[in-house]
Amino acid sequence: MAGEHGCGRPRVAVSRCLLGEPVRHNGNHSRARYLTDELAPFVDWVPICPEMEIGLGTPRESLRLVRSPGGPRLVGRGSGLDHTPAMTALAAERSAGLDADGYVFKSKSPSCGIHGIPLYAGEASLDRHNRGLFAGAVIDDHPLLPVEDEGRLNDAVLREAFTERIFAHARLRELLRSDWRPRDLVDFQSRHKMQLLAHSTEGYRETGRVAAGAGTRPRAELAEAYETAFRTALAVRSTVGRNVNVLQHCLGMLGNELDPVRRADLAEVIASYAVRRVALSVPIALLRHHARSEAATYVQNQTYFLPYPDELGLRNHVVG
């Protein structure tokens, strides 16, 4: 654990304009600072601009979604040119070949938006409950892929949740693409116990059940079943209550290693986190410190304590 988050680099698909590339319809970009300045050193991007990839240059006419009997269509705002067939074909192709641990989409785009996209009938906007044509197809094909838009990533809780998931997906991807043995999967499950429990007790049990079958099922079948169970568990939002349970569990495992004063200190800090007086980073830092100084290896090795690089500073917010 010491200084190592123990995972490789997530591969993150991203709307190209968010990386500062001038591919928007008006020739501009939509650089997202969290991505380019903070996350970039730790991930590999898979930049995708669907409108450029279907052959629309920049600058270009802006597009919008319009109502039609067969579902929303993507058309030119002024010309009415219908780009739906090209965009649908591109989405199918890109989605089938998508090799990514997460996807950050550009908000408010009729191609890339993941929610709140207006649907038009003539000049009237009917509702704003739609996804962009490209993004919607990718999400339908990859329901367990962590996805966000750059606007939602401004929210500290959503940012932390997304980042945690992409690093977890990357760790599992790296394992399953290596020459892994059944015991490696059991070890992976063991190292993720606390992290899984912070999301879902049920998810922890299910992943444990699948991992326990390592060595008795064909590798490919086992890998697929574990991947689905692991991703499903992490898709459940972690809560303060579940984190408190995990922290207390870890405190229990440190057990008699700690003298009564330090135990009481830790219990107090966990209680402060439970009532939202301190950020999660505070009890985590203290537990890590004690686990290291007491050489409590099992606790130290839990990915829960370092699910992504510390430099991202994502657990420093106090949950409201």
106/199 with CB nearer ligand SF4? 106
Binding mask 76-115 for ligand SF4 (x = CB under 6 A): ------------------------------x--x-xx---
| CA–CA separation, 95 and 107 (whole Å) | 19
Interacting residues with ligand SF4 between 21 and 40 (CB under 6 A):
23-24
Residue 148 as a binder of ligand SF4 (CB under 6 A): the answer is no
Long-range CB pairs of 244-251 (<8 Å, 24+ gap) are 244/270, 244/273, 244/274, 245/197, 246/194, 246/197, 246/198, 246/304, 247/273, 247/283, 247/284, 247/287, 249/194, 249/197, 250/194, 250/287, 250/291, 250/299, 250/302, 250/304, 251/287
Backbone angles phi, psi at 245, to 5 degrees: -60, -45
Count the neighbouring beta carbons within 10 Å of the beta carbon of residue 101: 27
Q: Identify which of residues 85 and 215 has a Cβ nearer to ligand SF4 in the complex.
A: 85
Of 81, 50, 76, the residue nearest 62 (C-alpha)? 76
**φ/ψ of residue 312, rounded to 5:** -75, -15
Separation of alpha carbons 17 and 114, rounded Å:
15
Task: Rank residues 72 and 203 by Cβ distance to ligand SF4 and give the closer one.
Answer: 72
CB-based contact 235:255 (threshold 8 Å): no
The helix or strand, by DSSP H or E, that contains position 139, with its residue range, turns out to be helix 133-141
244 counts as binding ligand SF4 under rule CB under 6 A = no
- Our CB check for ligand SF4 shows the closer of 24 and 199 to be 24
- Is residue 279 close enough to count as binding ligand SF4 by CB under 6 A? no
Name the DSSP class of 280. Answer: T
Closer by beta carbon to ligand SF4, 142 or else 219? 142
Instruction: Select 18 or 185, whichever has its Cβ closest to ligand SF4.
Output: 18
Q: Return d(Cα 148, Cα 114) in angstroms, integer.
A: 8
Which CB, 142 or 191, lies closer to ligand SF4?
142
Which of these segments, 46-54, 120-128, 270-278, 303-311, binds ligand SF4 (CB under 6 A)? Answer: 46-54
Stretch that binds ligand SF4, among 11-19, 187-195, 238-246, 254-262 (CB under 6 A): 11-19
Stretch that binds ligand SF4, among 12-20, 32-40, 64-72, 285-293 (CB under 6 A): 12-20
- Residue number, 133 or 291, with CB nearest to ligand SF4: 133
Q: What's the rounded Cα separation, in Å, for the pair 106 and 160?
A: 18
**With binding defined as CB under 6 A, does residue 15 bind ligand SF4?**
yes
First to last CA, the chain: 29
Query: Quick one: which of 7, 11, 19, 51 contacts ligand SF4 (CB under 6 A)?
Result: 51
Considering only residues 111 through 140, tell me which ones interact with ligand SF4, judged by CB under 6 A.
111-112
Binding site for ligand SF4 (CB under 6 A): 15-17, 23-24, 49-52, 106, 109, 111-112
